[in-house]
Amino acid sequence: MHVGSLARLVRPAPPPLGLGIAVAAALIVVETLLVYPLQRIMAPLDPGIIYIVGVLVASVVWGMWLGMATAVVSTLAFVFFHVQPINSIVAADIRQVVGLAVLLLVAVAMSAVADLSRLRTVEAEDADLSAEMARLLLHADDLPAVLPAVAQRVAQSLELPDAVIDLAVVSGDDRHSALPLWAGTARLGTLRVPVDVPERTMQRLRERTVPSLASLLHAGCERAAVLDSLEASRERLGRLAAEQAALGRVASLVAHNGRPAEVFDAITSELHGLLGEQFSTWLCRFENDATASTVSTSLPGLTPDQMRMPFEGDNVPALVWDTGRVARMDSFEAAAGPIGALARELGVRSVVGAPIVVEGRLWGAAAVGSTRPEPLPPDTEARVTAFVALAATAIANADTQAELVASRARLVAAADQARQRIERDLHDGALQHFFAVALQFGAVQASLPPGLEQTKEELSRALRGLNSAVDDLREISQGIHPTLLAAGGLPPALKALARRSPVPVEVDLHACPRMPPVVEVAAYHVVSEALTNAARHANASVVQVQAATRDLALHLSVRDDGVGGADPHRGTGLTALQDRVEALGGHLTITSPVGDGTQLLATIPTTSAACAHERDSGSAATAR
């Protein structure tokens, strides 16, 4: 703030009074001595005017009372030494009294001007100090860190040796006086200044500096609280967004019928990523023998014995098993049992577990552990529970999907078994009767006497028709369930299909051992349908058939060089094949660009539920 020239010469607090008296006395002596030469130089004028200098100095620097005293003493000195009669304080001329009055008026006027200037100076300095404190306190990200700079600025402004600002209630001592900083009824802190501060400065501190500092400190604390709240809100929103994104990824995996193992790994991975590297996560399944099996975990290097442990002792899985509710343990120092010992071995201090309930039954638990000495945050239970719901949904979906696949597989296996029985009945029943009739026709034809050529010809014609019917019936029997497939497995059956195909077929078989019959039948029908379509619709010159087993699955590829453009949705054959393959837990894809041939790719698991059903059925049949 701008102040005038006089204000710049006037200090907010006057120097010590003793110094003022000494300066005033010295000025009076000097002025009295200067009057002697001035009487000759300023003969027409009153040389006593020089005393106004001392009066001005005393009034401006030390105030009205010292100025008035200086005026009185200056008048007496002038009268005593320079006015007749000499060495007398009795004025012979009334003008001397007028001169005294003038000096007194000058002293009063100048002291008033000086006080006003001093007040303006104090106000200006206080305003500058307030502005500087506001700049420091209201723009600080760390309020305690700027308090030393604010205290230093207060000390500089009030010419103090030092000053200290504490954000606490501090009492004074033998070196410092304590000035409390209040915001209403709440004490924000303490301003400490040296005990020897002049009373006038202390008054200025109490009346001006402390209220301003308290208000600004209160505003700074509120600003810091608002910033902390905003930062906390930002962190909460960021954490919520991260949680929702993680939940969304897991939910998407669940919605796309991801395998339970994939969902479990996704849950532990997402929880581990959200909580941090210092936290561990795992999912366990409760077994019927009162043990907990770990199905997924972020803990590396667990041994098989550690992956399945009993509920004995004090541990979170046992608490969840007993109560069916969320459980927490914040110390394993005295926990009994193998799970407690494992927690101590891994350095786990605190664990929170949430139950996984699937269709009303307690399936298992999801748990989070921490190696930090402090307990897990209070919101850990809620964060784990959100993922537990998705785990339960994934398990329920997987159970439903498994039941559906098993049901479809049982239907496919039952249909194949029915076909096999029909084929066996045809082969052992109707075909054998046809063979017997054909043999009888042959015997009758051979026993006819000569001369019955027309009868022989008719018998020959009937015998050829019977043989043709037998061949057709044998072909139908082979189509229902090829005997060669049951006897020799997939390779000879596929080679037989290739030999019977009107289109040249290149067969490439790798590692095709005997597989469950339901898998071999499905593969046989895929190749048979593909060869039939290639012969009827593709106008192909060659068909390539490849089969191999790897990764517990049979992989088939049938490709022709025909016209392409096959639409699996327009025919029932390919749709039926796709249903058959999917019923076994596999998948069938058809690629048929126009002009570039058609390719069928089939993958059929060899360890699916259908295979297990087929094995069980085979065992039962053997037992019978």
Question: Which CATH number do you get for residue 383?
Answer: 3.30.450.40
Domain range holding 155? 138-227
13: in domain: yes
Is the same domain home to 97 and 208?
no
Nearest to 327 by CA among 374, 247, 373, 388: 388
Is the same domain home to 530 and 582?
yes
Q: What is the pLDDT of residue 142?
A: 86
Final residue belonging to a domain, choices 227, 245, 268: 227
In the predicted model, is pLDDT for residue 79 greater than 70? yes
444: in domain: no
Q: pLDDT tens across 580-605, in order?
A: 788 788 888 888 888 888 999 999 98
Residue 603 phi, psi (nearest 5): -125, 120
Q: What is the pLDDT of residue 305?
A: 74
431 touches 473 (CB < 8 A) = yes
Cis (ω within 30 of 0) for the bond into 85?
Answer: yes
Is the same domain home to 102 and 160?
no
Q: pLDDT tens across 89-112, in order?
A: 555 555 655 665 676 677 677 777
Q: Which of 15-29, 57-71, 155-169 has the lowest mean pLDDT?
A: 57-71
71: in domain: yes
Q: What is the pLDDT of residue 343?
A: 86
Query: Between the ranges 69-78, 221-230, 250-259, 432-441, where is the mean pLDDT highest?
Result: 221-230
495: in domain: yes
Close Cβ partners of 379 (under 8 Å, ≥ 6 residues apart): none
In the predicted model, is pLDDT for residue 70 greater than 50? yes
Is the same domain home to 277 and 218?
no
Task: Identify the band that residue 22 occupies on the pLDDT scale cut at 50, 70 and 90.
Answer: very high
Is the same domain home to 115 and 160?
no
Is the same domain home to 171 and 115?
no
Strand order in the sheet with 598-605: 505-510, 543-550, 553-560, 598-605, 587-591
User: Which pair of tokens denotes residue 88?
Assistant: 């007398």
181 touches 191 (CB < 8 A) = yes
454: in domain: no
Is the same domain home to 114 and 161?
no
Cβ neighbourhood burial of 563 (10 Å; 0-12, 13-18, 19+)? middle
Q: Which of 121-135, 330-344, 484-498, 606-620 has the lowest mean pLDDT?
A: 606-620
Q: Which of 85-94, 242-251, 280-289, 534-543 has the lowest mean pLDDT?
A: 85-94
427: in domain: no
DSSP code of residue 189: E
Q: What is the pLDDT of residue 193?
A: 93
Final residue belonging to a domain, choices 403, 433, 464: 403
Is the same domain home to 396 and 278?
yes
Close Cβ partners of 257 (under 8 Å, ≥ 6 residues apart): 397, 398, 401
603 C-beta neighbours (distance < 10 Å), count: 17
* Average confidence (pLDDT) over 316-329: 90
Is the same domain home to 116 and 142?
no
Task: Identify the band that residue 576 occupies on the pLDDT scale cut at 50, 70 and 90.
Answer: confident
User: What CATH number did the domain enclosing 618 receive?
Assistant: 3.30.565.10
User: Distance between CA atoms of 392 and 364, rounded to whole angstroms?
Assistant: 9
Q: Which of 113-117, 151-155, 185-189, 502-506 has the lowest mean pLDDT?
A: 113-117
User: Which pair of tokens denotes residue 219?
Assistant: 């505003």
Final residue belonging to a domain, choices 344, 378, 403: 403
Task: Identify the band that residue 620 occupies on the pLDDT scale cut at 50, 70 and 90.
Answer: very low
Nearest to 350 by CA among 378, 373, 334: 373
In the predicted model, is pLDDT for residue 88 greater than 80? no
CA distances to 192, 553, 604 from 408, rounded to whole Å, are 86, 18, 14
390 touches 251 (CB < 8 A) = yes
Q: pLDDT tens across 360-385, in order?
A: 889 999 899 988 888 888 888 888 88
In the predicted model, is pLDDT for residue 622 greater than 50? no
In the predicted model, is pLDDT for residue 398 greater than 60? yes
Is the same domain home to 142 and 12?
no
In the predicted model, is pLDDT for residue 212 greater than 50? yes
Q: What is the pLDDT of residue 399?
A: 73
Residue 13 phi, psi (nearest 5): -115, 125
Number of domains in the chain: 4
Is the same domain home to 299 and 335?
yes
265: in domain: yes
Task: Identify the band that residue 608 occupies on the pLDDT scale cut at 50, 70 and 90.
Answer: low
543: in domain: yes
Is the same domain home to 395 and 261?
yes
Q: Give the mean pLDDT of the chain.
A: 80
In the predicted model, is pLDDT for residue 616 greater than 50? no
Strand order in the sheet with 279-286: 308-310, 291-297, 279-286, 361-370, 350-358, 327-329
